[in-house]
Amino acid sequence: MVLVFCEQREGKLKKVAFEALCVGYAIAEKRGGELAAVIVGAGIKDLAAEVVKFGVNKIITVDDPSLQFYTPDGYAGALERLCREHKPHTVVLPSTVMGKDLGATLAARLETAIIPDCTALEFDESGNPIMTRPVYAGKAITRAKAPSANPLIITMRPRAYSAQPENDKGAEVVAGDVAPAELRTKVAEIVKAVIKTVELTEADIIISGGRGMKGPENYPILEELASVVNAAVGASRAAVDAGWRDHQFQVGQTGKVVAPALYIACGISGAIQHLVGMINSKTIVAINKDPEANIFKVADYGIVGDLFQIVPMLTAEFKKQKAQA
């Protein structure tokens, strides 16, 4: 069996859940065994209907008020019990903040191997997954396999694998054993930051601002462009360290790794630690007044100039295009 953890927040499945299911499907096809989707949370039973069309044979819901918020104890406990019961040969999770924490905790509890933060999947001649993963801030790429791991745990980077529904196999929906252990962590309250635009890892378009933005008061020009093209607004670490943007918006080695269809870097020099977080974007546009800036080496389109002139021009042009469409 391949067991796929389908991440949900506030009763909504994340895109990465469907991507992870497609990775799981490919592995189950190659190595054999059923494909099981696991959804953990409180009041999440209805979400089963959203994953049926991804070629799953079984959907296991672990539904309990104690699992309303993510806690390592609660979620890893639920997955550990499922692994001990169903004995999957592979467990797939998304490489999100939750998935990374959960995957590592689960691997430790099951005393097994984890290949984290993968970007591609292949198979050896025996059908064992060979996982590609960037290391040393993306300076090198490794290909890893762990055929003797039982189960093998994999976390897959968001957007590294596309989510194509396979087929509806009429999966049975079963309730997983809740048996909540005494949770050592209790989430008292979640205070949400007000995000006016799309969430970074889910966005098709990201517009990021760096030190060239000069200050927090200038980010509304990026937000305005973002609202016209339905994009998320990201930042370099320089902007985050300066206190201009919250860390949740940071792209890079110590921030989020993103791979949108379009990444527009504004006033960002292109340090390796930033590039590692966005290099897999399908199209990269850089706006920088320094023609020698490193970002131009990875950009598909480069605009040498002052972002304070160029960004408003882009916004006006996109508004015009939208009005005409």
CA–CA gap between residue 84 and residue 79 (Å, rounded): 9
Does 290 sit near ligand FAD (CB under 6 A)?
yes
CA–CA gap between residue 20 and residue 83 (Å, rounded): 17
Q: For the chain, how many residues are written?
A: 325
Residues 6+ apart with CB under 8 A from 154: 23, 90, 91, 92, 93, 103, 114, 115, 116, 118, 129, 131
Q: Which of 95, 96, 269, 315 binds ligand FAD (CB under 6 A)?
A: 269
61-69, 94-102, 168-176, 288-296 -> range binding ligand FAD (CB under 6 A): 288-296
Does 273 sit near ligand FAD (CB under 6 A)?
yes
Q: How far is the CB of 152 from ligand FAD (least distance, A)?
A: 29
CA–CA gap between residue 154 and residue 185 (Å, rounded): 25
Q: Which is nearer to ligand FAD, 147 or 215 (CB)?
A: 215
x/- string (CB under 6 A) for ligand FAD, residues 179-218?
Answer: -------------------------------xxx------
The answer to whether the CB of 172 falls within 8 A of the CB of 136 is no
CA–CA gap between residue 319 and residue 73 (Å, rounded): 48
Q: How far is the CB of 194 from ligand FAD (least distance, A)?
A: 23
Q: Which of 306, 312, 317, 320 binds ligand FAD (CB under 6 A)?
A: 306
Identify the CA nearest to 232 among candidates 213, 266, 207, 212: 207
Residues 218-257 that bind ligand FAD (CB under 6 A): 236-239, 250-255
Q: Residue 135 forms beta bridges with which residues?
A: 140
Instruction: Count the site residues for ligand FAD by CB under 6 A.
Output: 28
Identify the CA nearest to 174 among candidates 6, 275, 57, 312: 57
**DSSP H/E element including 173:** strand 172-175
Q: Which of 53, 289, 298, 319 binds ligand FAD (CB under 6 A)?
A: 289
Q: Which is nearer to ligand FAD, 46 or 241 (CB)?
A: 241
Q: Which is nearer to ligand FAD, 144 or 310 (CB)?
A: 310
Q: How far is the CB of 213 from ligand FAD (least distance, A)?
A: 8
Q: Which is nearer to ligand FAD, 57 or 253 (CB)?
A: 253
Q: Which of 69, 123, 308, 318 binds ligand FAD (CB under 6 A)?
A: 308
Does 268 sit near ligand FAD (CB under 6 A)?
yes
Q: How far is the CB of 234 from ligand FAD (least distance, A)?
A: 9
Q: Tell me the two tokens of residue 124.
A: 């050896």
Planar angle of CA 6, 11, 13, nearest 5 degrees: 35
Residues 6+ apart with CB under 8 A from 50: 13
Q: Tell me the two tokens of residue 23.
A: 């990775």
Q: Which is nearer to ligand FAD, 61 or 315 (CB)?
A: 315
| Residues of this chain that bind ligand FAD (CB under 6 A) | 210-212, 236-239, 250-255, 267-269, 271, 273-274, 277, 287-290, 293, 306-308
